[in-house]
Amino acid sequence: MFIHLFIDTVKNICNKTLAFKFKRKRLLLSEKNKNSKAIGYARATDNESEYLEEQIKILKEEGCSLVFSEFISLDEEIKPQLNKAINFLSKGDQLIITQLDRAFKNNKECLRTINKLINKNIKLRTLTGFSAVNESSKANSSIFKILYELDNLEDKSLGERKKEQLLRRKLSGNNLGGRPKISPLKESLVIRLRNEGYSYRSIRSQTGIALSTIRRVILEGELT
């Protein structure tokens, strides 16, 4: 009986020792990820209700705990639900969309948002295979920042060249081309609204003037 008691005691000591030996103070990466969130964003135009529902379903199947969605044009400068989704995310989370054109209308908008997310250590992923994440090295983040700056450079250079061309044609007395000139009253209204901070599209909706004409009037006003 003493032998059995001795053996049981040794077993208990070994079990406790082994349990203590393999006790981890740090969480595994897979366990850390349990605390992160996967948030989805879906967008469609007013006549694409089925498409929006399809995106939401796919994103939920992908593991999104919450999907922000809205009916809105891609050209809108502000997408309220997209902003809510981004603000809802925190370090270690990821934003998932079906494809890039659901959230971004051009390269500049996409790169700007990617840099914002990377700086907050938030991953952007699409179901088409695109992924942007701030990994241990800064190489990935630097590439997107460089692309963003290059895109800015191209826009600024193009704008400066257009101004120079308009100035040369104006000084030489040549017709600036484009749509027929509008009345001085409407021109002053366009410039005033722009100075008050209204966007080109907002000015168009208030005045009924074409966007190309609004841009020309504002550009000419900057040259005078």
Tens digits of residue pLDDT in 160-170:
667 667 777 76
Asked whether the predicted pLDDT for residue 26 surpasses 60, the reply is no
> According to the model, what pLDDT value does residue 210 have?
86
Residue 27 clears pLDDT 80, i.e. is over it: no
Token representation of residue 183: 């009345």
What pLDDT score does 53 carry? 95
Fold category of 29-146 in CATH: Rossmann fold (3.40.50)
- Cβ pair 155, 167 in contact under 8 A: no
Q: What mean pLDDT do residues 50-76 have?
A: 93
Where are the chain's structural domains? 29-146, 179-224
Measured between alpha carbons, how far is 153 from 147 in angstroms, rounded to an integer? 10
pLDDT digits (tens, 9 = 90+) for 188-207: 888 888 888 888 888 888 88
Global pTM value: 0.52
Of 88, 79, 90, 42, residue with least CA distance to 62: 42
